[in-house]
Amino acid sequence: MDFGEAAAVIRSALDAEQLCLVVGACIVRYEGRAASKLSEGDRLLVIKPDGTFLVHQGKGMTAINYQGPGAVVKAEATNEELVVTAERSKPMREVIEAHFKRIDFAQSFYMRDDSKLKLFGSERELAKLLAQDLHLIEKGLVPVQEESSLPKGAIDILARDALGHLVVIELKRRDAGLDAATQLARYVSELRKRKGEVVRGILCSPKITPNALKMLEEKGFEWFKLDYEIANPSAKIRGLQKKQKMMTEF
Amino acid sequence: MDFGEAAAVIRSALDAEQLCLVVGACIVRYEGRAASKLSEGDRLLVIKPDGTFLVHQGKGMTAINYQGPGAVVKAEATNEELVVTAERSKPMREVIEAHFKRIDFAQSFYMRDDSKLKLFGSERELAKLLAQDLHLIEKGLVPVQEESSLPKGAIDILARDALGHLVVIELKRRDAGLDAATQLARYVSELRKRKGEVVRGILCSPKITPNALKMLEEKGFEWFKLDYEIANPSAKIRGLQKKQKMMTEF
DNA sequence: GCGATCAGCGGCACG
DNA sequence: CGTGCCGTTGATCGC
């Protein structure tokens, strides 16, 4: 397939709001929030009707070069190459150029798709479940709605314990690291200052790194091992266990 | 194209370590770290030789469903559908299934590509530049190598000022938020405890959110507005300006 | 291998 | 819009 034909395919795809696929050897240049250069190699170019522009190599999950939705795509053919550009101004002016030196394939496809992904086991879903079963953490714990969203971020779950003390619960669907412990500390600290009362902090996650656990202990926070299961229609919390290094080790 | 032919194309692509593209109407199911269901619609399926499995809709940058490198891909055709599965066990057992009810296109491509992306303007590059021009921040500031990597993360740049005080410099290539301010605070606090001496904290970024700036001020840290430019072969720092709300406002 | 962080992060939800 | 933060985050670097 020659460059002129490929350019025509791309233009017609853009015009008809169709997905366009191009396979061939190309060089890619990008300049915008950063800048990059990719020397010649065989790649797949995906152009979507919304302006999305993806350059994929033969391996790895992520596109090696890309432009997000909202880009204006153009195709220009000469005798020596096909240049496909995508330009946008949204976060800032950004341009990507793919210079094809060889075209193996170029075709467009009409894709009708109104479906949205249904996802189960998100943190949001787990938080909802856990808020209804706070006794799994501790007897007498009740959820509170008030003030659960600070100007500095939203608290996953806010509750009061049997003594009436505020409890900030930070939930992580996967292993917690320093960032999670830090985030919890920030919320607790902010709430203490704001309310001027005793505030406890609890981190719930399937696992935790040693450093993060150490930080929790130093700050007097607690960690609960979260055991949950992802059934297909929804998620279920199997249990919560307080697992913390004791100060008194035998 | 019928399901049997498409299955044959996929199998031969896997065998020959080629990229394979499939376009058609499908349902997608995923179960692993989370679970998801996507009802029928037209999609592009990209299968890479390394096991990468990407399901793309007609819009948006990210794959709506996917499986990372290392997955084992299989294709099975019946009279009613083509089922393509990808299974892996790396972070945990994960399975994705695409059930094609209609095939518009299926083809494989040999893609030779040994090139690696050259990226300019990364944080790493900026840090290297800035470390050589610390006078842009303050006269008398000199870089220190010692202890720049704590057990809890690595400090971007560690320096000593004219008075001999340690200075932790946290660099952000883009707008800094609460997380950046928190991170700086963590490093400074750790270093103070570890060294038992005065430690200053400086955040350098093109922009900063009001909350993050407020947190810096509360903790007595400083913010420098970073002005840099991304030339194509490398990045250049144009300047650094101390920009902080003064306690004494007129 | 784990642990921490960066990413041209992207995407979403909330104010 | 910005601000914050989750993500089946992925990818990278250091230990």
The CATH fold assigned to B3-109 is Protein Yojf; Chain: A; (2.70.180)
Q: What is the pLDDT of residue B198?
A: 97
Residue A148 has pLDDT above 80, yes or no: no
Q: Residue B36 and residue A186: Cβ atoms within 8 Å?
A: no
Taking CA–CA distances from A186, the nearest residue in chain B reads B182
What lies within 8 Å, CB to CB, of B46 at 6+ separation is A44, A46, A56, B19, B20, B21, B52, B53, B54, B56
Specify the nucleotide whose C1' lies closest to residue B35 (CA).
Answer: D8
Q: What is the pLDDT of residue A128?
A: 95
The DSSP H or E segment spanning A186 is helix A178-195
Report DSSP letters for B199-228, one per residue. Answer: EEEEEEES-B-HHHHHHHHHHT-EEEEEEE
Q: Residue A59 and residue B66: Cβ atoms within 8 Å?
A: no
Taking CA–CA distances from A40, the nearest residue in chain B reads B115
Q: Which of B59, B66, B112 sits opposite A61 (nearest CB)?
A: B66
Q: Could you read off the pLDDT tens digit of each residue along chain B, which spans 250 residues?
A: 899 999 999 999 999 999 999 999 999 999 999 999 999 999 999 999 999 999 999 999 999 999 999 999 999 999 999 999 999 998 999 999 999 999 999 999 999 999 999 999 999 999 999 999 999 999 999 999 866 777 677 899 999 999 999 999 999 999 999 999 999 999 999 999 999 999 999 999 999 999 999 999 999 999 999 999 999 899 999 989 998 765 443 3
How many Å apart are CA A31 and CA A85, to the nearest integer? 12
Per-residue pLDDT reduced to its tens digit, A152-207: 778 999 999 999 999 999 999 999 999 999 999 999 999 999 999 999 999 999 99
The gap between B208 CA and C13 C1' (Å) is 21
Nucleotides of D under 7 A from a protein CB: 2-11, 14-15
Closest CA to A157 of A193, A130, A195, A176: A130
Q: Residue A44 and residue B19: Cβ atoms within 8 Å?
A: yes
How near does any CA of chain A get to the CA of B167, in Å?
Answer: 21
Closest CA to B241 of B229, B228, B223, B219: B223
**What single-letter amino acid sits at A138?**
E
Could you state, in order of their start, the residue ranges of all structural domains in chain A?
3-109, 123-249
The gap between A223 CA and C8 C1' (Å) is 36
Mean pLDDT along residues A193-222: 96
How many Å apart are CA B189 and CA B209, to the nearest integer? 22
Residue A59 has pLDDT above 90, yes or no: yes
Q: What is the pLDDT of residue A133?
A: 94
Instruction: Return residues with beta carbons within 7 A of strand C.
Output: A 30, 32-34, 36, 65-69, 91, 94, 96, 149, 154, 175, 177-179, 209-212; B 60-62, 119, 121-124, 152-154, 156, 173-174, 183, 186
Taking CA–CA distances from B102, the nearest residue in chain A reads A111
The gap between A139 CA and C9 C1' (Å) is 41
B176-205 residues touching A, CB cutoff 8 A: 178-179, 182-183, 186
Q: What is the pLDDT of residue A152?
A: 75
- Mean pLDDT (chain A, rounded): 95
**Long-range pairs, B149-158, Cβ under 8 A, ≥24:** B150/B187, B150/B190, B150/B191, B150/B194, B151/A211, B152/A178, B152/A211, B152/A215, B152/B186, B152/B187, B152/B190, B153/A178, B153/B183, B153/B186, B153/B187, B155/B187, B155/B191, B156/B123, B156/B127, B157/B127, B157/B130, B157/B131
Q: What is the pLDDT of residue B151?
A: 66
Residue A67 has pLDDT above 60, yes or no: yes
For chains A and B, count residue pairs whose Cβ atoms are closer than 8 Å: 184
pTM beyond 0.85: yes
May I ask the CATH class of domain A123-249?
A: alpha beta
B117-176 residues touching A, CB cutoff 8 A: 117-122, 151-153, 173-174
Per-residue pLDDT reduced to its tens digit, A171-183: 999 999 999 999 9
Q: Residue A58 and residue B23: Cβ atoms within 8 Å?
A: no
How many Å apart are CA A225 and CA A207, to the nearest integer? 6
Per-residue pLDDT reduced to its tens digit, A123-139: 999 999 999 999 999 99
Confidence of residue A150 (pLDDT cuts 50, 70, 90): confident
Taking CA–CA distances from B94, the nearest residue in chain A reads A230
The gap between A68 CA and C10 C1' (Å) is 9
How near does any CA of chain B get to the CA of A165, in Å?
Answer: 25
